[in-house]
Structure 1
Amino acid sequence: MARDVVACGPAVNCFDCHRGHGPYAGVAAFLARLAAERPRLAARHEVELAAIAPWLDRTARPPAEEEPIRFHPARRTACLAYGAAEFVAAWAEGLRKPVTVVFEHVAEADETTAELLAVLAPRVAATPLRLELREDGTAEPPPPPSTPEAVRAALGDGLARGFYHHAARVAVHGRALVTPGGDLRQWWACTTGLATALTALERAPEALDLYDQARAATDDPKINMSAAYATAMLHARHLDAAAQDQTLARHWLEEALRLAAGLEDSPHKVISTVFYEQGLALLDARQGAPEQALRLIDDGLARLAAVLAPGEHPQHLARLRHNRAQVHLALRDAERALADLDLVIAHDPGNCEYYVDRAALHRAAGRTQAAIKDYGTAIRLGPHLPEAYYNRAVLHLERGHEQRAREDLERVLAVEPGHLDARITLANLLLERGASEEAERQALAGLALAPKEPALLCTLGLVRSERGEPAEELFTQALEGDPTLVEAWTNRAAVRFERGEVSAAVADLDRAVALSPAPEPRFNRGTALARLGRWEEAVRDFTDALAQPGLDRTLRREIRAELERCRRAR
């Protein structure tokens, strides 16, 4: 129900955003109203709309009932906000007269609501839609959930949907209502839920402390078993790289398995044991024993098949086969990895992660169209995964579809402004198309986030050198950050050559040639050597450049002309 719509005087479109109503309060009801008005438009955004306003999907089970074995990344909300803003913008562009929508209690909004409004406001600025954001409101916020059942339902829903700030608040509230001695089940549900939320929010050390508290509070074997496994995964995956400890991770996995062995025989015991062993397989693969990892996974799949009914828990089987695909890749067996991914997708066709992995295999095998299709599916299901957009853009560039590549790169940056690879690729694409001012804006935007990024410094230097402005220092700074950046050596050499410092240019080009087999550095060095009258060396460089595969036709003609000139002069 859209209970976050309130009456606020003469305003017709007024929505209460107080976080007491939950994630996406206010904006969810607004989106639902637009979806009812424009169902065909809404159908193109069904994934993000159903994630934000789940009542729009009448066939879906409540997320908390799905018992997820993996959780959404925290950045998914940025992807949802992008998709929702595109939906609202498309609706708003069809308006015939101005419409004002009021959002109340924005100062007390959940992080999901605040994020979406921040993305939406600039996106609709040029449309007839006007957003009025009010810090206060006319309605009182509800009281938080107080019964154990309501707390657990709200916590489970927040975790399953990937709304971790909300889940953390619910868990903190729930923990304050009970003690381990008074209601151990409730206390543990809130403790492990809070730890899960904190881990997703990159606050893993706090999660680690919570599991230590659980071990100190109770000797319940099931709780200690779950805490041991979670502690192992924190040490293996989620702590900062410097703080990760694979030895401790293995210790806690073995403790979880020891406690699991004491459970009564049941499918739950088998499932728990198999999944704890997958942690050991992860460590084995990382520590150079993929064959041992493969044996653990194969054994786990066999034991799951023995206790699960046909069609039961397909995500469990999919996760193990996905793990096995990763191990096959480590063993350089792409064919078996692809076969596993095909099975994984058949078992769990709604998981965007699997399509991204399969697309990478298709791409490596030269099946570009299949890769593009899988990236497209991942983008639809994700929705709007920045990495899928970026990888598809690279494929579009390889196929010469520059406009499609640009559109995908711009989508990446709309969702994730700090995606440096996309920023670099877009800036260079714009520069190649002669849009130097746009390329400069992209480079400066990236450098505002990463001031010492070598590739962006190099691109900015190239823009300014083409305008005749000083650029050598930018190339030098780029090389200080990355001495292997061929483009910076080549472009600094060009600046020095044009200034008449030919020997210095040759020295830079020596570094570029040592780093890359590409024809351009050899052609440039040959040109500089010819200027110095070192004809034999110049002939060798031009000859080597001509021998490189895939040489551009225009560059080939230029190299041949210079080669003939050197042969005549020597």
Structure 2
Amino acid sequence: MNRYDCHRGHGPYAGVAGFLATIAADRPRLAARHRVELYAIAPWLDRTARPAAEEEPIRFHPARRTACLAYGAAEFAAAWAGALRRPVTVTFDHVANADETTAELLDVLVPRTAATPLRLDPRPDGPAEPPPLPTAPDAVRAALGDGLARGFYHHAARVAAHGRALVTPDGDLRQWWACTTGLATALAALERAEEALDLYDEARAATGDPKINMSAAYATAMLYARHLPAARQDPAQARHWLEQALDLAQSLDDPRHQVISTVFYEQGLALLDAKAGAPDRALRLVDDGLARLTAVLAPGEHPQHLARLRHNRAQVHLALGDPERALADLDSVIAHDPDNSEYYVDRAALHRVAGRVQAAIKDYGTAISLGPHLPEAYYNRAVLHLERGRDDRAREDLEHALAIDPGHLDARIALVNAHLERGALDAAERDALAGLELAPKDPALLCTLGLIRSERGEPAEDLFTQALEGDETLVEAWTNRAAVRFERGEVTAAVADLDRAVALSPAPEPRYNRGTALARLGRWEEAARDFTDALAQPGLDRALRRDLRAELDRCRRARSG
């Protein structure tokens, strides 16, 4: 049990998967609570699952999923280790040559278990020679398909590059193309889309095969539409390549395959139309595609194709301002694919907009249990808890989000503000400084740190000024810098800052503050106007309404006196 080989030659999660499987056998109840991440990392534990490459997912896993798997697996191992009655040492060999999934998990696992009786010993080398990558064509394609389907893109890229080196387009075009498009898919997922673009150019130069050129044209279109860096995305180029793919689809011999391919490629046009502000045209393409697919598919055949279109249609309905129809489509997609966490996140957002807070919280919870551990789901659920006054639950969710993704700035800012609300200035400062280590110039964090320092009576004006240098629309920074200046007696400067805040926000607080400053300057008419405007805002709490009325009465007395 105590020694595991982590060399990448054994595949994704080599070594750590065996370790996790061993402790899962020791604590089956604990393992059951972490089955999603355990089944993803050590798929042989799920005796009911088909090979990942045989599944037909509606969309590929995002590359960030492995970080979420690592977090959940580390939580599982730490819980197991915490119950150990004697020290246990586990050695991981060949970590210098580990797959990226293994390295990522060990980076989380080692510190997470440091305070337990478990001692982990990652060693850069080891006693055994690693196995070579497969060379048989079927084995290469199977390994590549499995890596892509499971979202292990570094491994998939290595297998694909290895497979390309074994053949040439002239010698085995089918194998060469499978490895070329697989490599391009993996590179796009790893944010290396420009390299993927070069591969499709290479494929077009290597062969005139219409099916390969059709697939390459569609993939090239999606690179220009979605995956290239923002500065290189080009809707016109994307449309050009989609039209090429559609033209080539018309040359397919099988009429049924022709319809399926045409509908699939037209969804790319629908995406471009929606992005271009023509959702009505996009909706016609999706509706027409659903009708044509339904006509050529037998009942129950390729349900993932229909689900993909319904998911697309849900996004278009949202763009058209019809959330109820979007919800109906998402319900249908979830009924087909109930284990996909991201669909629950999508549906929770619809529930949230419609004011169905409890339904949204439930969907975020399902997403978290299936995800596993999506930081965005934790963050969004925390926001809902904050809105309902469930501060303890919100802080717990925010801490989970940051444990998974320390760079999640929105969660960091929300947690700092939650600490401030309960007067925990030390905790607020600690988390604000942790966020600024990752994003030193983030305006919201600088502003919040300034507020913390102000609460302590410490100098803070420079922090608000730095925040405004990064974001001149940050109302809180204008308002808080004005408060510092007002307290220091620089009332005219405070009014100037509050002028900017009032111009940016209809909220009552900046008007109340400016009215107070104007009154200090004896500008009673202007102060009364600010207090009156603030009183006209909806949703004022009683204390603020009372204070505004008192200040307005004071202005009136001063004017009449």
By the TM > 0.5 criterion, same fold?
yes
Amino acid at match of 2:18: A
Does residue 522 (structure 1) correspond to residue 511 (structure 2)? The answer is: yes
Amino acid at match of 1:269: Q
How much does 1:184 deviate?
0.8
The match for 2:199 is: 210
Amino acid at match of 1:558: D
How much does 1:69 deviate?
4.3
The match for 1:343 is: 332
How much does 1:243 deviate?
0.7
The match for 1:321 is: 310
Q: Which moved more, 1:524-533 or 1:212-221?
A: 524-533
Cα contact 1:355–1:378 (8 A) shared by 2:
yes
The match for 2:363 is: 374
Amino acid at match of 2:194: P
| Paired positions, count | 559
Equivalent of 1:50, from 39, 42, 47? 39
Amino acid at match of 1:483: E
Does residue 120 (structure 1) correspond to residue 104 (structure 2)? The answer is: no
Q: Deviations over 1:229-259 (max 9, x none)?
A: 0001111111111111111111111111111
Q: Which runs of 5+ in 2 are unaligned?
A: none
The match for 1:488 is: 477
Q: Deviations over 1:202-225 (max 9, x none)?
A: 000100000011111111111111
The match for 1:23 is: 12
Equivalent of 1:37, from 15, 26, 49? 26
The match for 2:320 is: 331
Identity over aligned residues, as a percent? 84
The match for 2:551 is: 562
Equivalent of 1:300, from 273, 276, 289? 289
Separation of aligned partners in 2, 1:533 and 1:247: 60
Amino acid at match of 1:386: P
The match for 2:121 is: 132
Q: Deviations over 1:75-105 (max 9, x none)?
A: 1100100111111111112222222211111
The match for 1:408 is: 397
Separation of aligned partners in 2, 1:320 and 1:195: 24
How much does 1:484 deviate?
1.1
Amino acid at match of 1:150: A
Cα contact 2:6–2:98 (8 A) shared by 1:
yes
Separation of aligned partners in 2, 1:17 and 1:112: 10
The match for 2:220 is: 231
Distance of aligned partners of 1:266 and 1:129 in 2 relative to their CA distance in 1, 3 Å threshold: farther
How much does 1:396 deviate?
0.7
The match for 1:6 is: none
Does residue 61 (structure 1) correspond to residue 50 (structure 2)? The answer is: yes
Cα contact 2:58–2:307 (8 A) shared by 1:
no
How much does 1:417 deviate?
1.4
The match for 2:350 is: 361
The match for 1:389 is: 378
Amino acid at match of 1:340: D
Q: Which moved more, 1:406-415 or 1:155-164?
A: 406-415
Q: Deviations over 1:259-288 (max 9, x none)?
A: 111111253332211101111111122222
Separation of aligned partners in 2, 1:478 and 1:166: 42
Partner secondary structure for residue 101 of structure 1: strand
Q: How does 1:63-462 map to 2 (within 5 A)?
A: 63-462=52-451
Partner secondary structure for residue 242 of structure 1: helix
How much does 1:67 deviate?
3.5
Q: Deviations over 1:117-156 (max 9, x none)?
A: 1111121122221111111112221111111111111111
The match for 1:13 is: 2
Q: TM-score, normalised by structure 1?
A: 0.95
Q: TM-score, normalised by structure 2?
A: 0.97
CA RMSD of aligned residues (A): 1.4
Separation of aligned partners in 1, 2:538 and 2:235: 45
Q: Which moved more, 1:195-204 or 1:442-451?
A: 442-451
Partner secondary structure for residue 121 of structure 2: strand
Equivalent of 2:497, from 508, 515, 534? 508
Cα contact 2:147–2:153 (8 A) shared by 1:
yes
Separation of aligned partners in 2, 1:210 and 1:69: 24
Partner secondary structure for residue 91 of structure 2: strand
Cα contact 1:317–1:347 (8 A) shared by 2:
no
Partner secondary structure for residue 169 of structure 2: coil
Does residue 475 (structure 1) correspond to residue 469 (structure 2)? The answer is: no
Separation of aligned partners in 1, 2:24 and 2:544: 54
